A and B are shown apart, each in its own frame.
Chain A
């Protein structure tokens, strides 16, 4: 419930405020969003598995975002930024899909 509420609040603020993203952050923001989305879906899956833990969610959210950002940063420094970005997106995408399929099974099984 808190998560949905937070999402709605965030989107509304984002739509109305329309801030300029600092240029340093621009390449990382999409990755951060996808990583956070993955964390959120993992939390949703854990909720359905009845193993949801606030602490785990918060930690996984932050660590996901940080890891993804650092990975892309590293890739940029090594000159393989776009490839590594693609790799991170692919991995996160796969995770998101598996989480979604697990959630779907929980919803439609019972």
Chain B
């Protein structure tokens, strides 16, 4: 009885031990197992040399392939599939279209900018021209050109009056004078001539005889305007007994200027 019990216990312990061994196994299959070194292959020095040469050759092939693949940057398109290539083409053409559109936009911009620049240049040129003409017209700028110089000496019969002097200026103006100066006063649109008790006054400046009119314009016309029979020249001579000389000149230099008017009420229309 006792013997049987002992044997039972012994066998169950054996089973238990086997199970424990099974459970405590660390070899899970996912870790490498160090096997025994395989038995040396037969064969002499020559075959070992051959195999290492073969290994060298294979590894050299590997390295060679790697190196030339590194250098091969030219075409990766051969390895692409048809869909990839189609996608690439459509992407590229979309990009091309976009770039084309952008180019058109930029070209338009460039053209408009160029046109604007031209316009601005033109406007600047016109403004400069206007400035010159209006500067001469308003007496802000000195002027030079061919014309006449008229000298009128003091009247021997009576004093030369303002009306006749004004008539002279008007006659010259009718004859197409462009710039005039009376003694040292630049004659502009607003110029007036009055008489004081002793002499003439022009734009607030006293004029002393002999009077000297510098006029730029066609010399022949201006000369005719003064010397015409029954004209203002003969009036000076006959009525006032003054001596009038008209000398045409190729270069009448009118350096008299006046400051620009400051208008209080008049404004340019924008």
Contact = CB atoms under 8 A, between A and B. Distances in A.
Interface of A: 2-15, 17-19, 21, 23, 26-27, 29-30, 32-33, 36-37, 40, 45, 49-51, 53-55, 57-58, 61-62, 79, 81-82, 85, 102, 105-106
* Main DSSP-derived SS at the A contact region: helix
Interface in B44-84: 48, 51-72, 75, 78-81, 84
A51 B34 CA distance: 8
A20 B68 CA distance: 8
Given A18-B71, A54-B51, A10 B64 contact: yes
Contacts of A23: 78
Query: Which of B36, B53, B54, B57 has the most CB atoms of chain A within a 10 A radius of its CB?
Result: B54
Interface residues of B, number: 38
Nearest to A19: B68
A12 B56 CA distance: 13
Contacts of A30: 69
Contact of A2 (B56, B67, B80): B56
A61 B58 CA distance: 8
B246 to A, nearest CB: 98
A92 to B, nearest CB: 13
B21 interface: no
Interface in B68-121: 68-72, 75, 78-81, 84
Contact of B55 (A2, A15, A19, A21): A2
A33 B69 contact: yes
A10 to B, nearest CB: 3
B213 to A, nearest CB: 96
Contacts of B61: 10, 36
A29 B67 contact: no
Nearest to B76: A26
A26 B55 contact: no
B1 interface: no
B269 interface: no
Nearest to B47: A54
Given A61-B58, A82-B81, A45 B66 contact: no
B54 A58 contact: yes
A79 to B, nearest CB: 8
Nearest to A45: B32
Contacts of B34: 49-50
B197 to A, nearest CB: 112
Given A49-B32, A58-B51, A58-B58, A14 B67 contact: yes
Most chain A CB inside 10 Å of its own CB: which residue of B37, B63, B70, B71: B63
Given A11-B66, A14-B63, A106-B32, 18 more contacts: A5-B59, A6-B58, A7-B59, A7-B60, A10-B61, A10-B63, A10-B66, A11-B64, A18-B68, A21-B68, A27-B79, A29-B68, A29-B69, A30-B69, A33-B62, A51-B37, A81-B79, A82-B79
